[in-house]
Structure 1
Amino acid sequence: MSNKVRVAVVGYGHLGRWHAQKADQFDTCELVAIVESYSANQEKAKQAHANTKIVNDISEVMGEIDAAVVVTPTSTHYELVKMLLENNKHVFCEKPLCSTVEEANSLKENLKEGLVLQVGHSERCHQAWELLNKDIGDIKGAATLKIERVAAFKGRATDVDVVQDLMIHDLDLTRFLLQRKVKSVRAYGHKIRTGKWDQVNAVLNFEDGSVAMIASGRNHVREVRSLEITHDNGCFFVDLFRNKIATATDTDYGEGEYVKEFDYEKRDHLLIEQENFYNSILNNKAPMVGYEDGLKAIELVQAVLTSLETGKEVEV
């Protein structure tokens, strides 16, 4: 391989357009093709990327690429990723990696040594998590984590429920931040607009006594994205929508707490993810979010959905 990764972006919908735009910005990759089957989206792709091939199917350019960025509906992920891996292509797949744990387990058979498979759990890219460690240190003791991610109905991602669409971000974040093993999941929800779960609240119990409470919804009048962690070192609150942080930590000043409030840097998560993807390929390094992370997120999604359907607590 040269010093450039030849890449195709598969899917030119809402998110695919952003990914194609990012791919055009790197010296480490060449955007060879955009794969899109809908004629209206094809025209938009031609206007925005005049020097890039626009094709109907990935098979048309399989011999011309080293890697692909998969930004298609979740139901198509498994077959696309499987085909790409079978053809020895590196893959960046938007979350979730696929629809079921069984599909994810099957993909491992196709993940040959030297191939990069990265999953788009972009919420890990917030600067806030670096500041969490810097400001109040490691998360100690049994922690309580509260996450809320709700928005108005936007008509997108209706092929999946809110757990696969939104909550999966926070199921992954919970694992990423706490670095602890989930013991069980209990979930409650409602089907409001799409015939699928549109409002879900999940409680994750960890083996060390930590608890995570996650609320996800896509039928609200306001958009909220917030996270709060309370543990032995203090409390850390993040408004992910407005890029604001509030911390309270024990200090050397005597009794009481010292509270700080400040903004954090807004980052281009898709740009960070793609940069990591191409660098991982060129330098033969593990990606920032790999196969095992994608699998664990799907396992938690499935546990939440099982709890919703059965009305029972589910061991993980």
Structure 2
Amino acid sequence: MDRLPVAVIGVGHLGRFHAQKYRDHPRADLVGVYDLDAERARVVAEEVGATPSTDLAALLARVKAVSVVTPTLTHHDVVRQCLEANVHVLVEKPFTATLDQADELIALQKARQLVLAVGHLKRLHPAIEHLRSLNLGSPRYIEAERLAPFKPRSLDVDVIMDLMIHDLDLALHLSGSACTDLRAVGVPVITDKLDMANAWLDFDNGAVGTFASSRVVRETSRKLRLFWQDAYASIDFAANSLSVSRRHPAATGGMIPGVDTTQVDLPRVDVLAREVDNFLVAVETGDRVFCDAEDGRAALALALQVQKTTLDRFHAGMRGR
């Protein structure tokens, strides 16, 4: 089997991990890594056995697919250059900075008939895959909590685009429904952008959801709770755990009469490696990718809506002082 020539554009903290996954993948030939920081490109290239590059056009002429792991504000320009060079793209989330940028890239991707995937990799987590296999339908209530200690990276975006967008995407993915109304609050704490935010969403199928995010807490928490009419699921992404409770008239001995709870034995999975594999398979076979550009646009649109609502309320409060 011929290996697909690939590259990674942007090899900072996360881009380095993308390079490692391509290096280890049997379908991929990691031709090069690109970064504006020539020394960073050299160091990562040496680690993964690739060629460092600071000439994007020259690198694109040598590959068929790339990961774009650059700051969000550069996604539109970099991905556009890749698509115009007829190169398939996996771009980290958020997809772009604006919806107009997303629409331009989607139109270009369709015209060129290329794969354009967006890195909402939580869709590939074993807990989410297990819940989909149960065919429980759309959850009626969604409760998400994504909290993290402060780290001096990804500061080009606020906490909504950095953290909350993961859970907003999962809500759209699992519910198959659009948001019809929302309330949101948030504040800057350490940076000049929102570092904490909470949102309350209504969906057009009657579901509701609450979303809490922070990047300035002491301990990490990545939890998702989902409620159906006859079932409840609790995911702890940090602990790789999933419990599912379902109504069962014969159930005894549990905390709630008539409810049977199962602790699901989840495999330990390298979700980023799974993301890269799914992307490469889609490039080779034409199969639908795990999160396509239109999915990425939908998550971006909802995150931007939450962001605007939060900022409007914050600035109104500041003016009222």
Q: Which TM bucket (shorter chain)?
A: over 0.9
Amino acid at match of 1:88: N
Aligned to 2:310: 308
Q: Within 5 Å, which residues of 2 pair with 1:82-121?
A: 82-111=80-109, 112-121=111-120
Report the Cα distance in structure 1 between the residues aligned to 2:108 and 2:223, rounded to whole angstroms.
37
Amino acid at match of 2:246: T
Does residue 283 in structure 1 map to residue 285 in structure 2? yes
Superposed CA RMSD in Å reads 1.7
Query: C-alpha separation between the residues in 1 aligned to 2:54 and 2:112?
Result: 30
Query: Pick from 155, 169, 172: which aligns with 2:169?
Result: 172
CA contact (8 A) 1:170 1:214 kept: yes
Amino acid of the residue matched to residue 43 of structure 1?
R
Aligned to 2:158: 161
Structure 2, gaps ≥5 residues long: 252-256, 315-321
Pick from 206, 209, 224 the counterpart of residue 206 of structure 2.
Answer: 209
1:43 offset after TM fit, Å? 3.5
| Worse-matched range after superposition: 101-110 or 168-177 | 101-110
Match 1:237 to one of 230, 234, 237: 234
Deviations 1:178-232 (A, max 9, x none): 1112112221001111100000001110112211111010000100000101111
Q: Distance in 1 between the 2:80 and 2:190 partners? A: 32
- Over residues 103-138 of structure 1, what are the superposed CA-to-partner deviations in whole Å (9 max), with x where a residue is unaligned? 111212211253100111011111112322445x41
Work out the CA distance in 1 between the residues paired with 2:56 and 2:132.
Answer: 42
TM-score (norm 2): 0.91
SS of 2:102 mapped into structure 1: helix
Q: How many residues align?
A: 308
Tell me whether 288-297 or 261-270 shows the greater mean CA deviation.
261-270
Query: Cα distance 1:311–1:242, how it changes in 2: closer, same or farther (>3 A)?
Result: same
Distance 1:153 1:139 in 2: 36
Structure 2 residue corresponding to 1:81, chosen from 59, 79, 82: 79
State the match for 2:217 in structure 1.
Answer: 220
Question: Is there any run of 5+ residues in structure 1 with no aligned partner, and where?
Answer: none
Structure 1 runs of 4+ off > 4 angstroms? none
**What letter corresponds to residue 3 of structure 2 in structure 1?**
K
Give the one of 143, 161, 171 matched to 1:146.
143
Alignment of 1:31-110 (within 5 A): 31-50=30-49, 52-110=50-108
| Aligned counterpart, 1:8 | 7
- Please tell me whether the aligned partners of residues 69 and 91 of structure 2 are also in contact (alpha carbons under 8 angstroms): yes
Contact 1:139 1:232 in 2 (8 A): no
C-alpha contact 2:195 2:215 (8 A) present in aligned 1? yes
CA distance in 2, matches of 1:237, 1:285: 31
User: Looking at both structures, which has the greater relative contact order when contacts are Cα pairs under 8 Å and sequence separation is at least 6?
Assistant: 1
- Sequence identity, in percent? 32
Structure 1 window deviating more from structure 2 (32-41 vs 105-114): it is 105-114
In the other structure, the counterpart of 2:319 is none
Aligned residue for 1:252? Answer: 249
Give 1:247's aligned amino acid: V
Distance 1:265 1:163 in 2: 29
User: Aligned with 1:309: secondary structure?
Assistant: helix
Kept in 2, the 8 Å contact 1:114–1:284? The answer is: no
Q: Distance in 1 between matches of 2:42 and 2:129?
A: 41
CA apart distance, 1:298: 0.8
Query: For residues 283 and 301 of structure 2, what CA distance do their matches in structure 1 show?
Result: 27
**C-alpha distance in structure 2 between counterparts of 1:285 and 1:247, whole Å:** 31
Larger CA deviation: 53-62 vs 299-308: 53-62
User: Take 1:133 and 1:119, find their aligned partners in 2: how far apart are those partners?
Assistant: 20
AA of the residue aligned to 1:282: E
Which deviates more from structure 2 when the two are superposed, residues 196-205 or residues 302-311?
Answer: 302-311
